[in-house]
């Protein structure tokens, strides 16, 4: 994978799935329609769905995606063209949903403090390398180091998700 460049959308700690994708929209089953509802109820980021562009990044502190197990919270970002989530930590269920759908999450130590101390801000231009886990804030010059996407995660992403990966593996035998 190559280096990705895009704008940061910064969120705090403990962003639950209801704030990512509110439960009143759960009846929507077309993932292409889900981005229009992303972060609609997140204070200060209500315009995310209208203003986010493909290639932008969601940057969050600790415990991103806590709450329910809804896959909508992954789909609404993936189908909006957000190439990955950068978070200090995220809930296990959000992480599993993301990986199962071939959507990367990079874990970045110290990201919560950087958000709280203003070292990374909304609108900053970021360069992210999924292979090395390096993140460079082109606006401020700050550098962050996350966990690179594993080989297995790469394979799952290239296959379009866990089902595609398993299908590919079973047809090889």
Which residues of the chain are under the pLDDT cut of 50? none
For position 154, what pLDDT does the model report? 87
Under DSSP, the state recorded for 66 is B
Between the CA of residue 147 and those of 11, 30, 50, 135, 170, what are the distances in Å? 19, 31, 30, 10, 29
**For residue 47, what are the contacts with CB-CB under 8 A and spacing of at least 6?**
none
For position 171, what pLDDT does the model report? 84
- Distance (Å, rounded) from C-alpha 135 to C-alpha 123? 15
Q: 135 has which bridge partners?
A: 128, 144
Sketch the domain layout of the chain as residue ranges.
3-171
What CATH number was assigned to the domain covering residues 3-171? 3.20.19.10
pLDDT in tens, 10-27: 999 999 999 999 999 999
H/E segment holding residue 8: strand 3-10
For position 173, what pLDDT does the model report? 62
- Distance (Å, rounded) from C-alpha 128 to C-alpha 58? 12
- Distance (Å, rounded) from C-alpha 73 to C-alpha 122? 20
Q: Is the CB of residue 49 less than 8 Å from the CB of residue 38?
A: yes
For position 124, what pLDDT does the model report? 98
């Amino acid at each position: 994978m190559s280096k990705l460049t895009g704008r940061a959308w910064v969120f705090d700690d403990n962003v639950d799935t209801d704030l990512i994708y509110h439960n009143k929209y759960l009846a929507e089953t077309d993932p292409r329609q889900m981005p229009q509802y992303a972060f609609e109820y997140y204070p200060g980021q209500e315009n995310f769905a209208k203003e986010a562009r493909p290639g932008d990044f969601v940057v969050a502190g600790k415990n991103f995606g806590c709450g329910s197990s809804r896959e909508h919270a992954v789909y609404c970002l993936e189908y909006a063209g957000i190439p990955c989530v950068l978070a200090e930590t995220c809930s296990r269920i959000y992480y599993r949903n993301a990986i199962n759908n071939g959507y990367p999450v990079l874990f970045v130590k110290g990201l919560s403090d950087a958000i709280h101390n203003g070292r990374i801000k909304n609108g900053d231009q970021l360069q992210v390398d999924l292979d090395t886990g390096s993140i460079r804030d082109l606006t401020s010059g700050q550098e962050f180091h996350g966990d690179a996407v594993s080989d297995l995660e790469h394979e799952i992403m290239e296959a379009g998700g866990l089902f595609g990966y398993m299908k590919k593996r079973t047809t090889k035998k």
